[in-house]
Structure 1
Amino acid sequence: MLVCTTVVQVVCSVFAVENEEEDEPKVCQVCGDRATGYHFNAMTCEGCKGFFRRAMKRPVNFSCPFRGVCIITKNNRRQCQACRLQKCRSIGMLKELIMSDEELGQRRRLLERRRKRAEPVILSTQQEAVIQELLNAQKKTFDISFVHFTHFRPIDRTLAPMQQYRQTCQETTTNTWPSDIQEASLPCSSSSSPCSSSSQEVKPEDSCGKDRAFTTLPHIADLSTYMIQQIISFAKMLSSFKELSIEDQISLLKGATFELCQIRFNMLFNESSGMWECGPLTYCMDDAARAGFQPHLLDPLMKFHYTLRRLHLDDSEYVLMQAIALFSPDRPGVTDSKTIDQLQEMLALTLKTYIESKRTSPKKHLLYPKIMGCLTEMRSMNEEYTKQVLQIQDIQPEVPPLMLEVFSKIT
């Protein structure tokens, strides 16, 4: 028991000595000033640290006027550089530990990055105003419940499409799309249930490809026109958009309408059922197939909606995504590409800052590149969609004038 007590006392005394040493002020071994730590292998002040670095980087033959026996102190350390340098060497300061200018730059940049990561990321006043303007425009121009979508031709699902996606609009609680989102088109199967309404029956015996391909086209055309009108109104509410020339406004809208439509439709997409729930109306990919669109557009489009929906974006992220797509400087016909490029860069930075400041997941840094990847994927589908719209118009002239105007090529 006595031995244990003695050991405890010794340990406590050691800690006490260490704490006393830590509390004692450190003294520069060169001049006696207050030291700031070990520099180049010796305990020195900032002044002697800087002196040694400068002397080693620009070697000069210092000479002492007092036979090299000067006593270096805080007050006289600048009077004899030769003796001060000799004192630096005598206490063990090493030239080899001095970093080059390039290494110092790298270290400063690393410290700056660490400092920025440590600081909380917040949106600037300008960025908050941009987001608020976009949200206000979205609220006023996106009929998310489709209560005002009333003047349309009824959707005709009496015929099974030539390309089926195994969906039934009546059964919106079942997972009707493969979990791995197959890239290959799904074959038409007698056991699969096409998207159908409650008051109509599917007539699989009808084998006329032409009739089968365009049964839902009138309704889809009305729906597309309704969405396009809202997107045009959305763009016209943005101050940055209104400041552009009419020619550039038209070019941006013609280039981005498909992408903005898909982003808005994604907000209504139910990833459990693979359906788009537009208020009282429900749509599936079979409806697009019945309208005449082909699998090499519909298959990647379906995959895109699953991919984007699974990011679980909020309204601000969705609306910033729309704005980034709208202000694309490389659209055909754009003249003031520099201004539009600056706007897009500002919006992209706002989205990145918003994610960093609002999201709490440890993987939040992955969200921004995933969103940008979805935007890139939509660009690849945009041209194919335009091509298929024009092909449908050539075969079945049901495409309304507004759609043709928006999706016609700029010459």
Structure 2
Amino acid sequence: MGNNKELMKVCVICGDRATGYNFNAVCCESCKAFFRRNASKYDNFKCHFEGNCKIDLVSRKFCKKCRLKKCFDVGMKKEWILNDEQKQLRRTKIEENRKKRKNSDSDSEKSNDTKDNNNNNNSPISDTDHSTIIVDFLDLSPSSASTTPKRFNGDFDGSIEIMCKNLLNYRNRPSDNIHESVYQKTAEFEMSVIPIARPIDELTEKFNDLEINRLVELLNATHKLKSPEVPITSEAMTIEDGCKVWRFKVEQEIHKMIKMSKVLESFQKMCENDQIALMKYGCIEIFCMRLTMNYNFEREQWTYVTDDSSSTIMKLDLLRSAKYELYRAYKRFLDKIRPEWESDTIILDLLTAIILFNPDRPNLMYREMVKLQQHIYMYLLQRYLYMRYPTKFESKTKFLKLMSTLIDLHVIKEIHVTNCLRNDRDQISPLLREVCDVDDNINNNINQLWN
């Protein structure tokens, strides 16, 4: 009981029990309603006690001026208050999305039923067998790939172009603007019960034993992703050369990521199906994010270490000729993450775990278990930033901006996968075919990987 009480969230305005993350602050239902009713009336209120009233559970109703002032001081935003028309619009969108998801799930089930029947009657190798490429690397049994993934069927009806256009509409937002989904994810994280978490007012400048153990385990795991410092021996001069280097390097790093995952006890405790899904759908985002460590921001170029004695440089400008605005997506991501990570590899290591344990990946069986692990690493990142930066406001802002870069990474990943599907299908390896969900009938190379 004592631990539950310590983990209980409190309103940052009056100290009452908080009910959620409202208008950009953790607050109780009373302060939430007060702010919604009075946010635009600040100039109408008057304080009779020199403007420094103490606001707590007992006195919060005594002075509206000081209570509202404290609401603004802790970061509550009146522009987040919706009018009746906006509320109705939001309800309509939620209902539409709910219907779309329901229809999508229904169509997916019908499609999978049809596919299963076709595979049972016609195909000598099933989708379950096809997933064995990743199963083998993870040292899992083939039965773990029991969930049939959605695959690309080779028909381009414009859906990929539409998908990329929708994703890249996000780039039109100001680069310092934090996406609403980041606030929502952070709010859910703030209100969750995390086994190793401590109340913010008890945080010191040191990690406790539980936090240290988790962080040390992660750092030992991500050490397997480190690349040696080797001389530059070549440069990718065309986009075709750059794609070849990228494909070679990403497959090389996937093998390292699988070794990394085996060091994480929490990953090993996941069921085999979820291990496959998390690695399959997260590896490209992890790879693209960690490339930041090999990026020269002054010269705007990456260094791809290809082996123990050679490396290849690729300039960002080379991506201008890539399709689906890959250059803009990378440029936006790099511009956003540069001032936030400040060459601190620990931050990227923690982001690696946050990306890996993404509960929104397809085909997961135990999403809540995955979400718990992601929240633990989000807590460690928040905790680390709190220790590193002088004010809570600065560390919280850093945290939100770093989490916002993960949306840009998802855009980059989708563009890379699209390019693989449309332009490079005949040039990618069986492992990348599996990661990108490329469905074809050439099984010889896959069979060789099984043997």
* TM-score interval for Structure 1 and Structure 2 normalised by the shorter chain: 0.5 to 0.7
Amino acid in the other structure paired with 1:123:
F
Structure label with greater radius of gyration: 1
From 302, 311, 317, the counterpart of 1:281: 311
Amino acid in the other structure paired with 1:325:
I
Percent identical among aligned pairs is 21
CA RMSD in angstroms, aligned pairs only: 3.7
Match of 2:83 in 1: none
- The 2-side partners of 1:227 and 1:125 are apart by 31
Amino acid in the other structure paired with 1:388:
N
Match of 1:302 in 2: 331
Give CA deviations for 1:12-34 in whole Å, capped at 9, x if unaligned. xxxxxxxxxxxxxxxxxxxxxxx
Is the contact between residue 386 and residue 395 of structure 2 (CA under 8 Å) also seen in structure 1?
A: yes
- The 1-side partners of 2:296 and 2:253 are apart by 19
Q: Note if 1:370 corresponds to 2:401.
A: yes
- Structure 2: any 5+ residue segments left out of the alignment? 1-53, 75-198, 440-451
Q: 5 Å matches for 1:171-186?
A: none
- The 2-side partners of 1:98 and 1:390 are apart by 58
- Return the structure number with greater helix share: 2
1:99 is displaced (CA, Å) by 8.8
Q: Note if 1:399 corresponds to 2:420.
A: no
- Structure 1: any 5+ residue segments left out of the alignment? 1-96, 156-168, 170-194, 197-211
Match of 2:345 in 1: 315
Match of 2:273 in 1: 247
1:321 is displaced (CA, Å) by 0.4
From 266, 273, 282, the counterpart of 2:292: 266
Structure 1 range deviating more: 321-330 or 219-228? 219-228
TM-score by length of 2: 0.48
- The 2-side partners of 1:260 and 1:235 are apart by 12
Is the contact between residue 247 and residue 428 of structure 2 (CA under 8 Å) also seen in structure 1?
A: yes
Match of 1:50 in 2: none
- The 1-side partners of 2:332 and 2:272 are apart by 35
Is the contact between residue 324 and residue 415 of structure 2 (CA under 8 Å) also seen in structure 1?
A: no
Structure 1's 341 and 227: CA in aligned 2 closer, same or farther, altered over 3 A? same
Match of 1:235 in 2: 261
Structure 1's 404 and 116: CA in aligned 2 closer, same or farther, altered over 3 A? closer
- The 1-side partners of 2:381 and 2:438 are apart by 30
Amino acid in the other structure paired with 1:257:
C
1:295 is displaced (CA, Å) by 4.8
Match of 1:349 in 2: 379
Q: Secondary structure at the match of 1:363?
A: helix
From 416, 419, 422, the counterpart of 1:385: 416
- The 1-side partners of 2:304 and 2:242 are apart by 16
- The 2-side partners of 1:100 and 1:270 are apart by 52
- The 2-side partners of 1:288 and 1:98 are apart by 57
1:409 is displaced (CA, Å) by 6.8
Is the contact between residue 247 and residue 334 of structure 1 (CA under 8 Å) also seen in structure 2?
A: yes
Amino acid in the other structure paired with 1:303:
R
Give CA deviations for 1:176-234 in whole Å, capped at 9, x if unaligned. xxxxxxxxxxxxxxxxxxx64xxxxxxxxxxxxxxx75344433322221122112221
1:144 is displaced (CA, Å) by 4.3
1:334 is displaced (CA, Å) by 0.9
Q: 5 Å matches for 1:9-408?
A: 103=60, 120-145=204-229, 196=237, 214-278=240-304, 280-285=310-315, 289=319, 293-311=322-340, 312-360=342-390, 363-394=394-425, 397-408=426-437
Give CA deviations for 1:328-353 in whole Å, capped at 9, x if unaligned. 00101111001001111111011101
- The 1-side partners of 2:299 and 2:347 are apart by 23
Structure 1's 253 and 103: CA in aligned 2 closer, same or farther, altered over 3 A? same
Amino acid in the other structure paired with 1:133:
E
1:299 is displaced (CA, Å) by 1.8
Match of 1:89 in 2: none
Aligned length: 248
Amino acid in the other structure paired with 1:308:
I
Is the contact between residue 352 and residue 368 of structure 1 (CA under 8 Å) also seen in structure 2?
A: yes
- The 1-side partners of 2:379 and 2:422 are apart by 38
Match of 1:14 in 2: none
Amino acid in the other structure paired with 1:372:
M
Structure 1's 285 and 353: CA in aligned 2 closer, same or farther, altered over 3 A? same
Is the contact between residue 146 and residue 278 of structure 1 (CA under 8 Å) also seen in structure 2?
A: no
Structure 1 range deviating more: 379-388 or 312-321? 379-388
Give CA deviations for 1:242-262 in whole Å, capped at 9, x if unaligned. 111111011111211111101
